[in-house]
Amino acid sequence: MKSCIFFLYNVSDSIRIKLLMYIIVKEIEKMGYVDEVLEKLKAKNASEPEFLQAAEEVLDSLRPVIDANEAVYRKEALLERLVEPDRQFKFRVPWVDDKGQVQVNTGYRVQFNNAIGPYKGGLRLHPSVNIGIIKFLGFEQIFKNSLTGLPIGGGKGGSDFDPKGKSDREVMAFCQSFMTELCKYIGADVDVPAGDIGTGAREIGYMFGQYKRIRGSYEGVLTGKGLTYGGSLARTEATGYGLLYITQELLKCHGETMEGKTVVISGSGNVAIYATEKAQQMGAKVVTVSDSTGWVYDPEGIDVALLKEVKEVKRARLTEYAAARPSAEYHEGRGVWQIKCDIALPCATQNELLLDDAKQLAANGCKAVCEGANMPTTLDATKYLQENGVWFIGGKAANAGGVATSALEMTQNSERLSWTFEEVDSKLQQIMVNIYHNIDDAAKRYGMEGNYVAGANIAGFEKVAEAMLAQGVC
Ligand code: NDP
């Protein structure tokens, strides 16, 4: 190496550049296909850390499948096509606040991959939203949607608008302006958005109304709609319930049940509330919930009716829950993972369960971590849990119940029919049980038994890859 550097100092600039180019090309040739694609992706998307994190996690765990098919995938540039969205839209969203002041937010929709069905994925309304976050969510959505076994592709959208603290009129003004632009790109057979953080039934209602008004078409263009205008029973509960159905199947396959288990949950939004409800129906005790300012420890078990009243009706902070419940302690900041538990269900947001939290959970004897949120566990924390005997199911599989039920809503809209709560719930249960067995089998097929993260990525990827290859270069 020393002599090489000495040599480089003693040659002309043009020879030095040629030599450096030669060394770089040789280094690239030594890399595997996955590393090569990841290197190019990092160079192209350096300002999108969440997207890079998601792509690295997925591609890394697909190595055995990719190595086995490298020649075909390389020739078809399958991975390069997979990590590049079909298209992405970024647009201005002007609206007028209650003081008559014009406000301007940025809207996004990323249509990532429609190899197996129309683009499908939620709309996130949160100040942290940027193109990198939307791309990470859209990318993950491809595999999650494939795992449901239903014909839906991957997409995601949203805005940096914060519905918190806004009046209903302000939220409506924003939603109408957002949909005025978004409606150009979506449709029941094209792209079907849904809720996500900050987008609940109220926001979906305002957006659906505006779509209908502009396009003059009554179609299932959004899911998560109200029950009086095409929504599906059990959609509200689906992500949280689905999370518990897959957790229950995981425990069952390891000879355990939910009965008597202590569960810690983060978040107190849609996913957290219905995960809490179903866990308690299954005989477990949920002792924590959190929001972005603090968390509650309630050793008697979270009172779900009170939680719904505080969060769904009053849209208030968790301090109100603690004030109304003598057994509950309120703490500022973060801290749910320090509570001793059998099962941990992160249901708030990305990167909220860190390496130190993983160490604390494992040390406290936690048996399983299943993700209700999207990518709440960092890569190092995931690795630690997997290496320290904690069963870990990532969000792609564990929170797929929401989008699966959205696809069931699309089916009901196409049929012009509404199914009963029990019909939808039993289909959801079956889908979650199937997902568990598919990811378990995929992990076993590639010699990675118990690695449900790899299993989910592989099972989701195989179907999309086959469809992409069958459809030619597009
Ligand atoms: P909600 O907006 O209903 O709730 C989000 C919860 O997370 C709130 O309690 C919120 O607290 C908390 N939260 C948000 N940001 C942060 C933060 N930076 N730090 C700490 N807490 C935070 O969203 P959902 O329950 O719908 O979604 C939760 C997660 O589940 C997201 O990752 C979402 O992508 C994922 N998901 C949701 C599905 C669904 O059907 N709803 C489907 C699949 C995945 P606060 O109120 O203070 O903001």
Q: In the numeric block, which tokens belong to residue 112?
A: 């990532």
> How much is the average pLDDT of 148-160?
98
Residue 374 CA, closest ligand 1 atom number = 32
What pLDDT, on the 0 to 100 scale, is given for residue 2?
47
User: Which residue, by CA, sits nearest to atom 19 of ligand 1?
Assistant: 292
Helix (H, G, I), strand (E, B) or coil at 264: strand
Which of 126, 145, 197 is the pocket-test mutation for ligand 1 (most atoms within 8 Å of CB)? Answer: 197
The pLDDT of residue 242 is above 80? yes
> How much is the average pLDDT of 311-339?
97
Position 455 confidence tier, pLDDT thresholds 50, 70, 90: very high
> How much is the average pLDDT of 178-186?
98
User: Which residue, by CA, sits nearest to atom 42 of ligand 1?
Assistant: 402
Give the span between the Cα atoms of 192 and 123, in whole angstroms.
10
Closest by CA to 373, choosing from 267, 456, 470, is 267
pTM value is: 0.89
The tens digit of pLDDT for each residue in 383-392 reads 999 999 999 9
> How much is the average pLDDT of 210-224?
97
Question: What is the number of other CB atoms lying within 10 angstroms of the CB of residue 244?
Answer: 29
> How much is the average pLDDT of 302-329?
97
Give the span between the Cα atoms of 425 and 378, in whole angstroms.
31
Residue 400 CA, closest ligand 1 atom number = 43
Give the span between the Cα atoms of 188 and 215, in whole angstroms.
12
The pLDDT of residue 82 is above 90? yes
The pLDDT of residue 62 is above 90? yes
Contact 370/431 with Cβ under 8 angstroms?
Answer: no
Where does 114-209 show beta strands of DSSP type E?
Answer: 119-125, 153-159, 191-194
The pLDDT of residue 76 is above 70? yes
What pLDDT, on the 0 to 100 scale, is given for residue 29?
52
User: How many Cα atoms are found within 13 Å in the side-chain-facing hemisphere of 138?
Assistant: 33
> Could you give the residue numbers annotated as active site?
156
Least confident segment among 17-26, 96-105, 227-236, 326-335: 17-26
Closest by CA to 50, choosing from 132, 128, 111, 123, is 132
The tens digit of pLDDT for each residue in 378-423 reads 999 999 999 999 999 999 999 999 999 999 999 999 999 999 999 9
Q: Is 455 exposed, middle or buried (0-12, 13-18, 19+ CB in 10 A)?
A: buried
Give the domains, in start order, of the chain with CATH numbers.
Answer: 2-83 (no CATH), 87-225 (3.40.50.10860), 238-398 (3.40.50.720)
> How much is the average pLDDT of 256-268?
98
CA–centroid distance, residue 189 to ligand 1 (Å) = 28
3-state SS string over 40-85? Answer: HHHHHCCCCHHHHHHHHHHHHHCHHHHHHCHHHHHHCCHHHHHCCC
Ligand 1 environment, Cβ below 6 A: 195-198, 239, 267-272, 291-293, 347-349, 352, 372-374, 399, 402
Percent of the chain with pLDDT over 90: 93
Contact 418/232 with Cβ under 8 angstroms?
Answer: yes
Beta bridge partners of 188: none
The tens digit of pLDDT for each residue in 356-366 reads 999 999 999 99
User: How many Cα atoms are found within 13 Å in the side-chain-facing hemisphere of 450?
Assistant: 10
What pLDDT, on the 0 to 100 scale, is given for residue 1?
46
Residue 267 CA, closest ligand 1 atom number = 9
Position 13 confidence tier, pLDDT thresholds 50, 70, 90: confident
User: Which residue, by CA, sits nearest to atom 23 of ligand 1?
Assistant: 197
Contact 95/103 with Cβ under 8 angstroms?
Answer: yes
Q: Rounded mean pLDDT of the chain? A: 95
